[in-house]
Structure 1
Amino acid sequence: MILIFGGGGQLAQEIVARSARAGVPAVAIRRDAADIADDRQVADAIRKFEPTTVVNAAAYTDFDRAETDSSAAMRANRDGPAVLAEHCRANGLPLIHFSTDYVFDGRKVGPYREDDPAVPLSVYGRSKLAGEEAVRARHADYLILRVSWVYGRYGENFLKTILRLGQERDSLNVVADQHGSPTASTDIADAVIRLIPVVEGGGAPFGTYHFAGTGETTWYMFAAAILEAAAELTGRTVTVRPIPGSDYPAAAERPANSVLDSGLFERTFGFRARPWQESTKRVVAELLAEGGVT
């Protein structure tokens, strides 16, 4: 059975939903029931559910707020993974832990590989990198999956925000000089489900991998694709205008390039995420079929 920490987040909810469809037992536990930085609560959760694999989908993800709330970001993103890794090691459990493209500074030309230097620009990025290091230092049987620009039906994310704004406004200004690889939460959840028998079978090449939507784009082009997919179903058109990141000031600096190369994951495990355009259309259609975004 998969035990997922961070049950209130979009990834945990998606993994539970996709696991149910695949017939894979999974349970997600929310922060108010088990804070991953609390040693006793983690021990109690593992004792109660007796999992065969642990997935850490818990994280502090408010990029900008982290700049002034670094202690909370470090507690969730560094200290929590350290506690989980300790308990997974003690109980002989493999750990799948999620990290982020924001561990990179964005100065590289071309997609980032796993062995590229990690030089975060923000408190959020530093806290996530510290979490990676904590896991590696405490447990050998881990998979760290760096994911990028995650979106889906659950939680708050860029795709849902753009859909909502597209219902309220006739035009949007979106940053056009930051590049990344949008990744559907369904693709990530399906990857986790496919990895379970590998990690539990003892044959997994443990380590750090990139897993992101196939292809790359900018926030501006991503927004345009979202609204184009919606227009095909609703008939409502919205104008999207490109702007530089300097016109959209934020507390946390974003990397200009955080495109991830997922080739190592594909070569190792035999599959990769779908093209981001394909998954974007599917998620938009699902949300509109459910009544849109409020």
Structure 2
Amino acid sequence: MKILVTGAGGQLGSELKDLAAQYSTDSFVFVDRDEMPLDKLDRVRTVLADVQPDIIISGGAYTAVDRAESEPDLVDVINHLAVEAMAQWANANDRKLIHISTDYVFQGTSAAPLKEDEPTHPINVYGLTKQKGEVAITDSGADAVIIRTAWVYSAYGANFVKTMIRLMGEREEISVIADQVGSPTYAHDLAKAILDIIYTDKWQAGIYHFSNEGEISWYDFAVAIRDLKGLNCKINAIPTAQYPTPAKRPKFSLLDKTKIKAQFGVAVPEWKESLKRMLEKLG
């Protein structure tokens, strides 16, 4: 089996690369923006035709949420049209696709964990383009699994955990938003879930949710990072209104993981346990 992974240099791609070594009987092809630039649709189609993957893991995306507000056309090509091209190729060639989407397809006004059939209503450019990517996959007829995830972090790349560690090492006091609620996702856990889905005999196309178990705010997350690292920094809880950003964020994006657990039997670790494992890896 040949598996093509886009976004090879990102957090998820890096974790998939680590885990791929355990599947030596299969061939993994990792491509990043140099090998397969997602803003060049002809190149996307050429790479697919050359590699001929049995499964595409679509992990690459434009994820700079605030910058996306000023580059909507570019973001749409990467998060929507490139995904559409992959889905159409997968459908035409009878191959499978696993695509990573986001909690940002939701408006964020719910009070209960979000199920897969909850109406989507993005409130920023990034979320809108990711939603359009989901719709393009569905419309293509591809045999595809779409996994929405949230608050991704890893020992690789830039992310909230590493930013908090740096800031708390530099400052005596920081402020973190306390009224945006969800659950973080350790990219290693997501990568393992993806591979479990690929190697299960229970493949079922559709939309699924995956993040770590638990319900916290960004403030709660920051406090846990500080305490686990033994840092000495005062953390102030502030409302979103005190930290304006170009892109609006959903206030509530806790994902319900019932469906992915029931269908594929994947493990969904508790968020703090995963944070501990990431910090150990980080050293």
1:172 is paired with a residue whose SS is: strand
**Which of these residues, 170, 173, 197, is aligned with residue 171 of structure 1?**
173
* AA partner of residue 204 (structure 1): W
- Aligned twin of 1:205: 204
User: Quick one: percent identity of the two aligned structures?
Assistant: 38
> More deviation in 49-58 or 116-125?
49-58
Q: Does structure 1 residue 55 correspond to structure 2 residue 57?
A: yes
* AA partner of residue 87 (structure 1): W
CA offsets 1:128-183 (integer angstroms, 9 cap, x no match):
10010011111330000000100001111111111111221122110000001101
**Which of these residues, 259, 280, 283, is aligned with residue 278 of structure 2?**
283
Contact 2:4–2:57 (CA<8 Å) still a contact in 1?
A: yes
Distance between the aligned counterparts of 2:73 and 2:42, measured in 1?
20
- Aligned twin of 2:241: 246
* AA partner of residue 101 (structure 2): S
Structure 1 residue 2 displacement after superposition: 1.4
Contact 1:86–1:138 (CA<8 Å) still a contact in 2?
A: yes
Q: TM-score normalized by structure 1?
A: 0.92
Contact 2:7–2:61 (CA<8 Å) still a contact in 1?
A: yes
- Aligned twin of 1:78: 80
- Aligned twin of 1:292: none
- Aligned CA RMSD, in angstroms, stands at 1.4
- Aligned twin of 1:272: 267
Q: TM-score normalized by structure 2?
A: 0.95
**Which of these residues, 113, 126, 130, is aligned with residue 124 of structure 1?**
126
Q: Does structure 1 residue 95 correspond to structure 2 residue 97?
A: yes
Unaligned runs of 5+ in 2: none
* AA partner of residue 108 (structure 1): S
> More deviation in 25-34 or 36-45?
36-45
Distance between the aligned counterparts of 2:12 and 2:69, measured in 1?
23
1:145 is paired with a residue whose SS is: strand
- Aligned twin of 1:150: 152
Structure 1 residue 37 displacement after superposition: 4.6
* AA partner of residue 285 (structure 1): E
1:27 is paired with a residue whose SS is: strand
Moved >4 Å (runs of 4+)? none
Distance between the aligned counterparts of 2:177 and 2:73, measured in 1?
29
Aligned length: 281
Unaligned runs of 5+ in 1: 290-294
Structure 1 residue 25 displacement after superposition: 3.5
Structure 1 residue 22 displacement after superposition: 4.7
Distance between the aligned counterparts of 2:169 and 2:74, measured in 1?
34
1:99 is paired with a residue whose SS is: strand
- Aligned twin of 1:261: 256
Q: Does structure 1 residue 4 correspond to structure 2 residue 28?
A: no
